[in-house]
A and B are shown apart, each in its own frame.
Chain A
Amino acid sequence: MLVYIAKRLAAAVATLLLIMTITFFLMNTIPGSPFLTEKSTPQQIELANQKYGLDKPLIVQLKNYIVNYCKGDLGVSLKMQEGTPVKDILFKQGKFELSMRLGLLAVLVAVVLGIPLGCLAAYKRGTWVDGLLRVLTTVGVAIPTFVLAATLLIYLGVKAQLLPVLSGSLTDWKAYIMPVISLSFYDVCYIAKLTRTSMLDAINQDYIRTAKAKGVRNKWIVLKHALRNSLIPVVTFLGPLIAFIITGSFVVETTFSIPGLGKYFVESVINRDYTIIMATTVVVSILVIVMNLVVDIVYKIIDPRITLSSSDE
């Protein structure tokens, strides 16, 4: 187990370095300079470049990034909040915290609603409950987030005035409702579909027949025997989902005016704030990689038959 994790971590470091390199060259190909404004003179740009080390050869810049990141230094913002350490922007100004709070809540909702709904559909297979859930989930995965978010905003926020239109920094519990619904709706439907499918798969297995023959109640068969074995696809889906959802969704954050990380990243790309782009990419990548590793370990816990080895595919 430990050897396996060590191997995976080594691979993760390599992946991370590659992602940093790709991101670095991509963002340096964005035309224009972060310091280019209507007023700036070439001298000013030159000075700013020198100040932030952008005049050095690209390879040296990349090396600096990597060395500094190893020391835990994420650099300072070049443009959007000039001079402020990126670490403070991401973690101390509450951006990451805001996105993470929303995201974790959304994941929780997705799991708490999605898995039971999927179980229910599988348990009631062929009845109207199953039919209704199938229609709902099939339509649910076809609705784009921005359409859903905007619809909620119009009808619950503006017309009915039940919930605040601007969620802001999420000080009120009411402010959470619409963003969390928008964030989790697709995932609830997707997880419900996934659970139903894999549950039906599991129900056809021999051990279920044995349990039935023993006289175990249908309800307990679904809950104790089938569920555990049908969770693997859900866990696979959840891993990367958590990583992406807690780092913020641009669509939801824009629609509900939440100053979170997702919105900030898009703004940083548009503003060419190199250090912020790099830091966000690295943070998200680390989360994705870690979550994938966690998923593989959770597999092992759910299903002891699975052997952890990095060699076979």
Chain B
Amino acid sequence: MKQAFSKFSPFQVDPEKVWADYGINSSDFAPATDAEKENMVEVRKSVSYWRDAARRFKKNTVSMVALGIFIIVLLFAFLGPSLIPYDYANQYRSSQKLGPFEYSRKEALVKSIEDQVDCMFATALQPGSATGIDPGDYYFKYKGDTYCFNLEKRLGEAVIILKDGELSIVRETHIHNGEIKRSTPLEFTNEITDGAKQLKVATKVFPHMVGTDSQGRDILARTMYGARVSIVIGIVAALIVLIIGSIYGAISGLCGGVVDFVMMRIVELIYSVPEVLIVLLLQVVLKDPLQKWFDSSHTWFANALSTLGAGIVSIFITFAVLYWVTMARIVRGQVLMLKKQEYVTAATALGASNGRIIRRHLLPNCVGQLVITTCLQIPSAIFLESFLSFLGLGVSAPMASLGSLCSDALGTITIFPYRLLFPGAILTIIVLTLNLVGDGLRDALDPRLKK
């Protein structure tokens, strides 16, 4: 080509001559070696789809803040319970109906002793016959002597009297059942002895930061637990929707024709079902048979489900029956659109199998949509669960979800509004941050949709 062109070129010149004009000698040049050629190739990694999306997501301040807050809520729900000494199901007797940072008489007593004595050092966890320790025994040092008292046993009104800010301990003989006694046998050091193995160092009395409910359960602990239950339900329900919806939608979109027609009519039918009514019916219908099945069957599967409880499992079933339709429609739409793309035609022309086309071309191209829809499905699942629990149909006591906590609080709302407002606020934060993260994901994964 070049030769042919130069043949007709009127400006035929000898390059050597031109170079000489500029003082360049061709012998100064040598062909590049392979290594040198390698260096010349510009080293720039191709940016993958996910890396690109992650970069876009990181630039989105609102979504990053929302993600941060959501992670804090996750820590609250999953790590929180191990940080506070209360349990979601335990009913702390004598601490019913406490307000935030209120102490029961018993706790106030321990706390006042804590403030007075030299050191408060141990409480027994298990009965130790060898050491003569009973569960609930508190040991403390006062003016060089070790004392022991037990709060679980019946405590007379006059166990410990605070006089002029001085702790005075009523003599053993004055106390009903002898709950306070001078105690000599236990000498505690920092070393763990056999006897001390059954003891834990008494912690300061931990406040019920959000108070307790009418059964004496710590509301903070219950809210942490409830948030965990709600988040898990949301995620599992979204995954169920993802699996069923995408398989259904993909089959419908790929097969087309009569199959597609029939499958889409079914979707339309489910759309026009009044879902709240059917959800209610399903919940009521499923609860008892599920419970029966849990009681009779002992496979690992049934056992795993029975720990969740019939209420939660029937929520999952509800999602599996009714809520996959939107996902199915989205996936079908994506598949229909992608099917017509040139690269799919090219792959088909090159003889690629159906499986390869799905794996290599269709799936990677609609995975963004799937992630977005699933992420936005989580808050709507949490909403539905909280609604059902609010009706008293979802989780059952002593289990808790954010919805059931709000529902429990409704009866006493005029006296203890925080009992509803606290879990309600957590629920709102979870839904809000997930919505914002979902929006950010949509902008990041599918920039065309950005508004």
Contact = CB atoms under 8 A, between A and B. Distances in A.
B421 interface: yes
A89 interface: no
Contacts of B277: 23, 265, 280-281, 284
Contacts of A150: 406, 409-410, 413, 417, 420-421, 424
Interface stretch (A37-45, A69-77, A108-116, A285-293): A285-293
Most chain B CB within 10 A, of A15, A27, A142, A244, is at A142
A30 B284 contact: yes
B281 A26 contact: yes
Interface stretch (B35-43, B112-120, B428-436): B428-436
Nearest to A249: B276
Contact of A31 (B288, B406, B432): B288
Contacts of A59: none
Contacts of B435: 138, 141-142
B293 to A, nearest CB: 13
B230 to A, nearest CB: 11
Contacts of B403: 144, 146
A153 B413 contact: yes
A216 interface: no
Interface string B367-383: 00000000000010001
Contacts of B285: 26-27, 29-30
Given A147-B421, A151-B421, A158-B414, A27 B272 contact: no
Nearest to B336: A313
B427 A144 contact: yes
B274 A154 contact: no
B95 interface: no
A289 B272 contact: yes
B278 interface: yes
Contacts of A254: 410
Chain A interface mostly? helix
A23 B451 contact: no
A266 B393 CA distance: 11
Interface in A269-300: 269-270, 277, 280-281, 284-285, 288-289, 292
Contacts of A197: 451
A78 interface: no
B284 A269 contact: yes
Contacts of A22: 273, 278
Most interface-central of A138, A146, A251 (chain B CB within 10 A): A146
Interface size class of A (residues with CB under 8 A): 35 or more
Given A144-B428, A154-B414, A138 B436 contact: yes
Nearest to A186: B383
Given A15-B269, A27-B281, A151-B421, A142 B387 contact: no
Given A142-B435, A153-B413, A23 B278 contact: yes
Contacts of A266: 280, 391
Contacts of B431: 142, 144
Contacts of B407: 146
Interface string A78-116: 000000000000000000000000000000000000000
Among A150, A197, A255, max chain B CB count under 10 A is at A150
B431 to A, nearest CB: 4
Contact of A277 (B272, B281, B414): B281
Contacts of A250: 391
B314 interface: no
Interface string B273-295: 11011101110110011000000
Contact of A285 (B273, B289, B414, B420): B273
Nearest to A282: B274
Contacts of B240: none
A200 B273 CA distance: 33
B386 interface: yes
A265 B420 CA distance: 25
A18 interface: yes
Nearest to B427: A144
B264 interface: yes
Interface string A111-144: 0000000000000000000000000001101111
A155 to B, nearest CB: 8
A313 B403 CA distance: 37
Contacts of B413: 150, 153-154
A285 B280 contact: no
A9 interface: no
A308 interface: no
B248 interface: no
B324 interface: no
A30 B282 CA distance: 9
Given A139-B428, A143-B428, A288-B272, A154 B417 contact: yes
Interface string B305-319: 000000000000000
Contact of A251 (B278, B281, B387, B409): B387
Contact of B280 (A153, A269, A289, A313): A269
Interface in A30-59: 30-31
Given A147-B424, A313-B264, A200 B451 contact: yes
Contacts of A288: 272, 274
B225 interface: no
B427 A147 contact: yes
Interface in A254-270: 254-255, 265-266, 269-270
A19 interface: yes
A201 interface: yes
B149 interface: no
The interface centre, meaning the residue of A22, A201, A266 with most chain B CB atoms within 10 A of its CB, is: A266
B15 to A, nearest CB: 54
A288 B272 CA distance: 7
Contact of A144 (B276, B387, B417): B387
B420 A147 contact: yes
Interface string A155-171: 00010000000000000
Given A26-B285, A147-B425, 14 more contacts: A22-B278, A23-B277, A29-B285, A139-B432, A142-B379, A146-B410, A150-B420, A150-B424, A201-B451, A250-B391, A266-B280, A280-B277, A285-B274, A292-B272
Interface of A: 15, 18-19, 22-23, 26-27, 29-31, 138-139, 141-144, 146-147, 150-151, 153-154, 158, 197, 200-201, 243-244, 250-251, 254-255, 265-266, 269-270, 277, 280-281, 284-285, 288-289, 292, 313
9 contacts: A18-B269, A22-B273, A139-B432, A142-B429, A144-B383, A146-B407, A158-B414, A250-B391, A289-B272
Q: Closest 9 CB pairs between A and B?
A: A147-B424, A142-B432, A142-B431, A284-B274, A154-B417, A26-B281, A31-B288, A29-B285, A158-B414
